Amino acid sequence: MSVFIQAFRHRALQLRVPRVVVTPHLMGRTIGPVGDAARQRDVVEAALQLLEDAAAPNTIRDFEAPA
Amino acid sequence: MSPAEGADRPPMTFEEFHQSFYYGDRADMQFKYLARMTDEEAADTVAALLRKLGEALDTGELDEARRLAFETQVRAYAPPDPPEPEVDDAPFAPLRGDLADLRLALVSAGGVFVAGDDPMGPDGPTQEECLGLIKEFLRGAATLSRIPVDTPADRLTARHPGYDATTAQRDINTVFPLAHLRDLETAGRVRLADEHYAFTGATSQTRLRNETAPRWAEHMAAREVDAAFLVAT
């Protein structure tokens, strides 16, 4: 599975990446902001969940921080 | 370039100013997207960012400045039309079995490597120096950094001509979350390979697809890697 930032969401579509989590982060911080271990951990969990859930190619899921 | 150094230079247009963020005199990988904007868009963006920075100086809260930087970055990189696929297939391997039983490898395009084991050799360029080598990076073949699973985060560093890797130098988990994956392995959620990987994504995409990446995939398969966690930057 892959993690892309929102600014490059279109690149994931162009490349037809099989499984993608799209994060609302700045370039260079794909997994999360500096020092924000909780957010980074949530993104990693979301990517692993997508690996388990995806049933078809080009499955793109926008990351949403847990409430 | 410091303000004092710029004092003796000829006047510049505003277009030259915002274009210079893209590998010019003011090269800045955080804000190189200003070069993708019209003069008016760039002017509005710079003014808005400065306004939010001014507010942050009073409040200590950076969320609004961060949100604005994010929104303007997304707008600047958005293609004018819906993107068309560039590749003719979308390979998909269904997950077989439990995640905790699969051997997972982390692969980052963020230019991460173990300090002292620079994939470009002992005299490899610094982050600042590599911005001037962007054309050489884009023409060249990427090198795969092999990173043992037990490498402490403070032994990892990064260099990349396409984004500001000083962010990753401050916190490598921003692009290479190996420490978080190790925690999840301890919790029984995943099983990690003994070796993880990174390369510099600013590279010849043709070479990457046709030559380099297939070789890397063979290497990982030989090490019994079942799944890859890919991080784009």
Q: Which residues of A touch B94 (CB under 8 A)?
A: 55
Q: Could you tell me if B165 and B103 lie in one domain?
A: yes
Report the DSSP beta bridge partners of residue A23. Answer: A5
Domain C-terminal end among B25, B43, B77: B77
Q: Could you tell me if B117 and B196 lie in one domain?
A: yes
Q: Could you tell me if B110 and B178 lie in one domain?
A: yes
Q: Is A51 helix (H, G, I), strand (E, B) or coil?
A: helix
Smallest CA–CA distance from A29 into chain B, residue: B174
Which of A10, A30, A58 is the closest to B174 by Cβ?
A: A30
Residue-level pLDDT at B89:
84
Please give the average per-residue pLDDT across B45-57, as a whole number: 97
The predicted model scores a pTM of: 0.93
**A36-48 residue pLDDT tens:** 999 999 999 999 9
Query: Residue B130: inside a domain, yes or no?
Result: yes
The Cα–Cα gap between B127 and B161 comes to 7
Q: Could you tell me if B58 and B106 lie in one domain?
A: no
At B197, which helix (H) or strand (E)?
strand B195-198
**Domains: count for chain B:** 2
Residue-level pLDDT at B5:
67
The Cα–Cα gap between A46 and B212 comes to 29
Average pLDDT value over all residues in chain B: 94
CA distance B14 to chain A (A): 24
- What are the φ and ψ backbone dihedral angles of B189, each rounded to 5 degrees? -80, -35
Please give the average per-residue pLDDT across B10-26, as a whole number: 95
Query: Residue B72: inside a domain, yes or no?
Result: yes
> Inter-chain contact B173–A37, Cβ cutoff 8 Å?
yes
Angle at B223 between CA B218 and CA B226, to 5 degrees: 80
Smallest CA–CA distance from A17 into chain B, residue: B90
Q: Inform me whether the pLDDT recorded for B6 exceeds 90.
A: no
Chain B contacts in chain A segment 14-53 (CB below 8 A): 14-18, 24-35, 37, 40-41, 43-45, 47-48, 51-52
Query: Residue B117: inside a domain, yes or no?
Result: yes
Q: Could you tell me if B23 and B116 lie in one domain?
A: no
Q: Could you tell me if B125 and B185 lie in one domain?
A: yes
The Cα–Cα gap between A24 and A4 comes to 9
Q: Which residues of A touch B22 (CB under 8 A)?
A: none
Residue-level pLDDT at B9:
79
Please give the average per-residue pLDDT across B163-170, as a whole number: 97
> Inter-chain contact A31–B76, Cβ cutoff 8 Å?
no
C-alpha dihedral, B214 to B217 to B222 to B228, nearest 10°: -170
For residues B184 and A42, the answer to whether their CB atoms sit within 8 Å is no
Q: Could you tell me if B220 and B113 lie in one domain?
A: yes
- Within 8 A by CB and 6+ apart from A25, the residues are A5, A6, A31, A32, A33, B70
Residue-level pLDDT at B82:
80
Q: Inform me whether the pLDDT recorded for B35 exceeds 80.
A: yes
For residues B191 and B182, the answer to whether their CB atoms sit within 8 Å is no
DSSP B124: P
> Inter-chain contact B233–A55, Cβ cutoff 8 Å?
no
Mode of pairing for the β-strands spanning B227-231 and B156-158: unpaired
The Cα–Cα gap between B146 and B141 comes to 16
> Inter-chain contact B232–A14, Cβ cutoff 8 Å?
no
**B191-232 residue pLDDT tens:** 999 999 999 999 999 999 999 999 999 999 999 999 999 999
Q: Could you tell me if B145 and B187 lie in one domain?
A: yes
Query: Residue B187: inside a domain, yes or no?
Result: yes
Tokens describing residue B49 = 């960012």
Provide the domain limits for residue B132.
Answer: 99-231
Q: Could you tell me if B122 and B155 lie in one domain?
A: yes
Query: Residue B188: inside a domain, yes or no?
Result: yes
**B82-130 residue pLDDT tens:** 888 888 888 899 998 899 999 999 999 999 999 999 999 999 999 999 9
Among the listed residues B22, B69, B21, B30, the one whose alpha carbon sits nearest the alpha carbon of residue B166: B30
Which of B173, B184, B232 is the closest to A8 by Cβ?
A: B232
Residue-level pLDDT at A32:
97
**A10-61 residue pLDDT tens:** 999 999 999 999 999 999 999 999 999 999 999 999 999 999 999 999 999 9
Q: Could you tell me if B115 and B213 lie in one domain?
A: yes
Task: Provide the ipTM.
Answer: 0.96
Q: Inform me whether the pLDDT recorded for B153 exceeds 90.
A: yes
